[in-house]
Amino acid sequence: MFEGKSFIDILNMGGWALFVLLGASTLSVTIICFKLVEFWIKSKTIRSQFVCKVMEKIKKDKLDEAVGFCDTVNSPMSPVAKAGIVAFKENERNIGGAMEREIMIQTVKLERFTAILGTLGSVAVYIGLFGTVLGIIRAFHDISKMASGGISVVIAGVSEALVATAAGLFVAIPAVIAYNFFTKLIDKFIVDMEYCSSAVADTLKGKTGKWL
């Protein structure tokens, strides 16, 4: 079907929908690569080791060292633990609330751009189908103007129009898979942050003898 055709010729077969899907595919791949690198870096921190080091420094009254240690670790847990320690140093009453607010901030950062993947995964298929429908309409319109041609002309026109549907699926499937994968990773990060928040709060509570 594509023998002897250039990339531009294939795009023209699917009409404007293929050009839109090409842009969507480029955007999707860019976001997927960016989030993979981001999450890979943030996943390198082991939760148990990070929490143990922070708790150890808190118990030894090395709060400044604990804050400095948090600044050196690229993990969503770091700003959460730091928020609790800083709040404790500033004698704030609701230290747990400070960490909860930081969890919300970090969750928003983790979810950055993932909604675009979900949208592309949902919309790309419909763009492809729309392009196919327009292509079929155009094919039958062209056939109606021809004196002859038969079923072979109809099949050729429809097969070219279906390129848009195939392209839509090609864009949508990786986007949906990546979106679901990133959603699961974000859920794991949230669990890590909540665990860290609870552990830090309990450790700071032990230093004051009060619930935080």
Residue 55, pLDDT > 60, answer yes
State the total domains in the chain.
1
Q: Does some domain include residue 92?
A: yes
Give the number of residues written for the chain.
Answer: 212
Q: Does some domain include residue 212?
A: no
pLDDT score at 13: 61
Nearest to 205 by CA among 73, 46, 87, 68: 87
Whole-angstrom distance, CA of residue 19 vs CA of residue 25: 10
Q: Is 147 helix (H, G, I), strand (E, B) or coil?
A: coil
Q: Does some domain include residue 126?
A: yes
Is the distance from CB of 29 to CB of 113 less than 8 angstroms?
no
What is residue 75's DSSP assignment?
S
Q: Does some domain include residue 4?
A: no
Domain carrying residue 79: 15-39+46-204
Task: Look up tokens 């996943």; give the residue.
Answer: 43
Is the distance from CB of 135 to CB of 167 less than 8 angstroms?
no
Q: Is the pTM of this model over 0.85?
A: no
Please work out, in degrees rounded to the nearest 5, the angle formed at the alpha carbon of residue 17 by the alpha carbons of 182 and 35: 15
**Structure tokens of 159?**
């097969």
Whole-angstrom distance, CA of residue 169 vs CA of residue 82: 44
User: What's the alpha-carbon Rg for the chain, to the nearest Å?
Assistant: 27
Tens-digit pLDDT profile for residues 15-31? 677 888 889 999 999 99
Average pLDDT, the chain: 85
Percentage of the chain beyond pLDDT 90 is 59
Tens-digit pLDDT profile for residues 137-186? 777 776 776 655 556 656 666 766 788 888 899 999 999 999 999 999 99
Is the distance from CB of 86 to CB of 80 less than 8 angstroms?
no
Whole-angstrom distance, CA of residue 31 vs CA of residue 43: 18
Q: Does some domain include residue 66?
A: yes
Q: Does some domain include residue 210?
A: no
Residue type, 101: R
Q: Does some domain include residue 72?
A: yes
Tens-digit pLDDT profile for residues 30-50? 999 999 999 999 999 999 999
Give the torsion through C-alpha atoms of 154, 12, 176, 107, to 10 deg.
-150
Q: Does some domain include residue 81?
A: yes
Whole-angstrom distance, CA of residue 203 vs CA of residue 191: 18
